[in-house]
Structure 1
Amino acid sequence: MIRKQSITLHGHRTSFSIEDAFLDELRSMAAEKSLPLAALIAEIDESRPYGANLSSALRLRVLEWLKSRSDMRKIEG
C-alpha cells in the first residue's frame, strides 16, 4: 500500500508517496548510517537529478542499497 508521508526539507514542508516496505528499508538505512530518517531523505533529495521525482529517487536509493548489501554477502560468503 502506498502512503503519503510529510517531511520538512530545507525549511519547507513537502510530501512523498511510498510503499510501507520501502519506508521500512529507508528506516533501516538511516539506522545503519546513524542518521535520523529526515536527514537521510534530505541527503537523497539533494543528490537526485534535477526534475527527478522524490518518491522515485527514494525507491531507487533503496534498491541500490539492497543490491549493494546482496553483493557484499556474495563476496563474504
Structure 2
Amino acid sequence: MPLPAQRAARMLHKRSLNLSGHRTSVALEPEFWHALHLIAQARGLALAALVGQVDAARPPDRPLASALRVEALREWMPALPEMAGADGQDQLG
C-alpha cells in the first residue's frame, strides 16, 4: 500500500513554465490547474502570464505552488481576503 505522501504525489500534476526567462516547474492538483486556466482565460492572459504575475507578487517566503493555490481561492471565494489577516493567518478561530 502506498504511503500518504506517495499517493499525494500521484495526484499532483507537474507543469514546466518559463517565468522571466527562467524555466521552473510547479506541481498542483488538477483542480487548481483547471481553476488557474479559467482565471487566465477570464483575464485574457496565457497561463504562463498569470503564473508570472502571481510569482512577481508573492512574498519571497511563500512557495509558488502555495501562491497559485491562494490566487485560485481568492478568485473563486471573494470573501477570502476578509477571512485572512494581513499576514495570511486564518481569523476564523
Query: What's the TM-score once normalised by structure 1's chain length?
Result: 0.85
Unaligned runs of at least 5 residues, structure 2: 1-10, 80-93
- Superposed CA deviations along residues 7-58 of structure 1, whole A, max 9, x for unmatched, are 0000010011100000000000001000011000000000000121000000
- The amino acid across from 2:28 in the alignment is I
Q: How many correspondences in the alignment? A: 69
Query: Structure with the greater relative contact order (CA < 8 A, sep ≥ 6): 1 or 2?
Result: 1
Aligned to 2:57: 47
Identity %: 39
Q: Structure 1 segments of 4 or more deviating over 6 A? A: none
Q: Considering only CA atoms, is the larger Rg found in Structure 1 or Structure 2?
A: 2
Segments of structure 1 that go 5 or more residues without pairing to the other structure are: 70-77
Q: Kindly report the root-mean-square deviation, in angstroms, between the aligned alpha carbons of the 2 structures.
A: 1.2
The answer for the alignment partner of 2:66 in structure 1 is 56
1:23 maps onto 2:64 in alignment: no
User: Which structure features the higher share of strand residues?
Assistant: 1
